Amino acid sequence: MKDLIPEATVRRLSHYLRCIEMMEKCCYGENLQSKDLARMCSISDSVVRRDLSYFGTFGIKGVGYDLKRLKDSIKRILGLTEKKKVVVVGVGNIGRALIGYLSRVDGFEVVAAFDNDPQKIGKKIGKIKIEDAVNITPITANLNAEIAVVAVPSDEAQKVVNRLVKGRVKGILNFALVPLKVPDDVTVRYIELLTELEVLTYNIKKRRKS
Partner DNA sequence: TTTTCCTTGTGAAAGTTTTAACTTTCACAT
Partner DNA sequence: ATGTGAAAGTTAAAACTTTCACAAGGAAAA
The string of DSSP codes covering 115-180 is: ES-TTTTT-EETTEEEEEGGGHHHHHHHHT--EEEE-S-HHHHHHHHHHHHHTT--EEEE-SSS--
Taking the complex as a whole, how short is the minimal distance between the CB of residue 26 and DNA, in angstroms?
Answer: 18
Q: Rounded to whole angstroms, how far apart are CA atoms 135 and 138?
A: 6
Classified as helix, coil or strand, 82 is: coil
Q: Rounded to whole angstroms, how far apart are CA atoms 29 and 95?
A: 39
Using the rule CB under 7 A, give the single segment among 4-12, 111-119, 122-130, 133-141 that binds DNA: 4-12
Classified as helix, coil or strand, 110 is: strand
Taking the complex as a whole, how short is the minimal distance between the CB of residue 95 and a copy of itself, in angstroms?
Answer: 8
Question: DSSP state, 5?
Answer: -
Taking the complex as a whole, how short is the minimal distance between the CB of residue 24 and a copy of itself, in angstroms?
Answer: 15
- Does 156 help bind a copy of itself (rule: CB under 8 A)? no
Q: Which is nearer to a copy of itself, 101 or 117 (CB)?
A: 101
Which contiguous run of DSSP H or E holds residue 30? none
- Report how many residues bind DNA under the rule CB under 7 A: 26
- Does 27 help bind DNA (rule: CB under 7 A)? no
**Of 49, 84, 168, 170, the one binding DNA by CB under 7 A:** 49
Choose among DNA, a copy of itself, none what residue 165 binds, the Cβ cut-off being 5 to 8 Å by kind.
Answer: none
**Of 29, 122, 126, 179, the one binding a copy of itself by CB under 8 A:** 179
Binding site for DNA (CB under 7 A): 4, 6-9, 33-35, 43-47, 49-50, 52-53, 57-65
